[in-house]
């Protein structure tokens, strides 16, 4: 079946530090991959996505590359800010036939200290 | 666009009571999803609709849960009777076509005492 595994949190960093949140997946076929972010008290927002192998998604300084050979989609940011503190979710979408739902990882809580 | 609208934002009820959560998707979106978020289980898909028709309800925990989408602009998730283990944040999301971004509502925080 389809599944997503992402690193356990919480992750605590100082402002301007480098961020990596690991995400690996198991899926049949060719899924699309996503990173969603959830700020306190809010719903999830799409951060970035990639729809095929070797695609790089990027947004707000965050990047992730769809690596089919390692079944990974790690999230990176070169210099985090306090405002990046949130929970980050990796997800895959394997559509076709009657499928159409996102499969989410458990989420990784990021805290950035000034 | 107002985004996905959910009501109520918070609901506190007693065990055994009926609870109804409401969702208005983004206009023009043809897919609607209901998710539940808990600390223990993370984000779980409960059910989703395409053009108001339920496509997959395999995530609905048990018969106490039911969902309807009477028209393209409104959906409900009902729990009857509610139990303390139903306490969670319930999210509604919508998308235009299955492979596009899902837009999430702000969620309903349900507490069953």
pLDDT for B1 equals 65
Count of beta carbons in the 10 Å neighbourhood of residue B76: 15
What pairing do the DSSP bridges indicate for beta strands B5-7 and B103-104?
unpaired
pLDDT for A95 equals 67
Helix, strand, coil share of chain A (percent; to 5): 5, 55, 45
Interface of B with A (CB under 8 A): 4, 31, 33, 42-43, 45, 48, 50, 55-56, 91, 93, 98-99, 101-107
DSSP string, B67-98: EEEEETTEEEEEESS--GGG-EEEEEEEESST
Look at A104 and B4 and tell me if their CB atoms are within 8 Å.
Answer: no
Does residue B99 have a pLDDT over 80? no
Q: Each residue of A6-39: b (16+ CB within 10 Å) or e?
A: bbeeebebeeeeebebbbbbebeeebbbbbbbbe
What pairing do the DSSP bridges indicate for beta strands B88-95 and B108-112?
antiparallel
Picking from B45, B105, B106, the nearest residue to A101 by CB comes out as B45
Kindly list the residues from chain A whose CB atom is less than 8 angstroms away from the CB atom of residue B55.
Answer: 98, 100
What is the pLDDT tens value at each position of chain A, 114 positions in all? 889 999 888 999 999 999 999 999 998 878 899 999 999 888 899 999 999 999 999 999 999 999 999 999 999 999 999 999 999 999 998 765 556 678 899 999 999 999
Kindly list the residues from chain A whose CB atom is less than 8 angstroms away from the CB atom of residue B98.
Answer: 93, 95, 99-100
Higher pLDDT, residue B98 or A88: A88
pLDDT for A56 equals 97
Does residue B76 have a pLDDT over 70? yes
Picking from B45, B56, B104, the nearest residue to A44 by CB comes out as B104
pLDDT for B101 equals 85
């Amino acid at each position: 079946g389809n599944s997503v595994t992402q690193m356990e949190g919480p992750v605590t960093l100082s402002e301007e530090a480098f961020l990596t949140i690991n995400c690996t997946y198991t899926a049949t076929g060719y899924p699309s991959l996503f990173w969603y972010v959830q700020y306190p008290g809010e719903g999830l927002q799409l951060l970035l996505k990639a729809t095929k192998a070797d695609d790089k998604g990027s947004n707000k300084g965050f990047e992730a590359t769809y690596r089919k050979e390692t079944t990974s989609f790690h999230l990176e940011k070169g210099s985090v800010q306090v405002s990046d503190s949130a929970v980050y979710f990796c997800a895959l979408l394997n559509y076709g036939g009657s499928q159409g739902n996102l499969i989410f990882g458990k989420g990784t809580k990021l805290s950035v200290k000034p | 666009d107002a985004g996905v609208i959910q009501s109520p934002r918070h609901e506190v009820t007693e065990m055994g009571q009926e609870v109804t959560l409401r969702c208005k998707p983004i206009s023009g979106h043809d897919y609607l999803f209901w998710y539940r978020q808990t600390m223990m289980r993370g984000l779980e898909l409960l059910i989703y609709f395409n053009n108001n028709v339920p496509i997959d309800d395999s995530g609905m925990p048990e018969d106490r849960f039911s969902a309807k989408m009477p028209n393209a602009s409104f959906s409900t998730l009902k729990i009857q009777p509610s139990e303390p283990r139903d306490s969670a944040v319930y999210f509604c999301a919508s998308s235009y076509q299955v492979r596009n971004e899902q837009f999430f509502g702000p969620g309903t925080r349900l507490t069953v005492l």
